[in-house]
Amino acid sequence: MLNITIIDRSGAEHRVVAPQDDRSLMETIRELDVDEFALCGGACSCATCHVYIDPAFADAISSMSPDEDGLLESSSHRQPNSRLSCQIPLTAQLEGLTATIAPED
């Protein structure tokens, strides 16, 4: 189990305990019932699961694919620490992660 903090679009912090069972960060965030989040359900085709990853975890997450990079390129809210949460598998290295849900485009 991983302890993760999710900051929603209103700025509220949600401390969650997430299992390490082949799920993505997106699946954990979807359990919070965030409006208009992850509309494609994890197919890496819409960028509605855009999050900002705590820079301290930049080396702990998988590399960004060209598809993910292209989708994020279309966001007016892209930052250097932007990622699509559907592309981040939950691994032991993410213990203590904080992810902030990006504003809607």
Return the CATH superfamily for domain 2-101.
Beta-grasp domain (3.10.20.30)
Contact 75, 105 (CB under 8 A): yes
| pLDDT score, position 99 | 97
CA–CA gap between residue 28 and residue 49 (Å, rounded): 11
Is the pTM higher than 0.85? yes
Q: Checking DSSP bridges between strand 98-101 and strand 50-53, what pairing results, if any?
A: antiparallel
Tokens for 43, please give them. Answer: 């197919």
Domain boundaries of the chain, sorted by first residue: 2-101
- Average pLDDT for consecutive 10-residue bins of the chain (105 residues)? 95 92 91 86 91 96 95 96 96 96 93
| pLDDT score, position 89 | 94
